Copies of this chain bind each other. A is one copy, B any other.
């Protein structure tokens, strides 16, 4: 054998570098060299870990989903009531601080990149489907007497609201400050009869 590198750690490092470049320099500057510079290594390491640029993007996309999934499950587990869980899980999808704003910007970037990439668009659909199932389940738990279809439509609406608010908040933080985003979410939950 030879020296043993920590592959998962390096892949995570490079994925974080992809997010960094995507959020602060945009899709057009998302180059192997820019990623390597953001990760503090050379292009040699990048191309040694991934066969090509697309594989790097796909992995970074997958890791982004895993990260939010883990965060969401922790929030769900630590919530006292179904309605509290629903609100907490939806809330973390907004652009409330620098980290969440970066994630939303990266999410928009990946969605834009998916237009020309079959693998990214497939990942987007799979991820969004699991996201919808989760929110639908939380809505059903928060309103047990609702028919399934009503819960599903409300869940879809809440997802669209959060996704749109996050995108608008990442594109115009001053126009959509954290308090305004949370207010939009809380008012909509109240309007649907899913508050507190």
Which residues of A, 91-136, contact B by the 8 Å Cβ criterion? 105, 108-109, 111-117, 121, 124-125, 128-129, 132
A125–B172 touching, CB < 8 Å:
yes
The segment out of A9-17, A26-34, A76-84 that lies at the interface is A26-34
A26–B116 touching, CB < 8 Å:
yes
Q: How many protomers of this protein does the assembly include?
A: 2
A163–B167 touching, CB < 8 Å:
yes
A159 at the interface (CB under 8 A from B): yes
Give the bracket for the number of chain A residues in contact with chain B.
35 or more
B172–A156 touching, CB < 8 Å:
no
Residue in B25, B113, B154, B160 whose beta carbon sits within 8 Å of that of A164 in the complex? B160
Interface residues of A (CB under 8 A from B): 22-29, 105, 108-109, 111-117, 121, 124-125, 128-129, 132, 153-154, 156-157, 159-165, 167-168, 171-172, 175-176, 180, 183-184, 187-188, 191-193
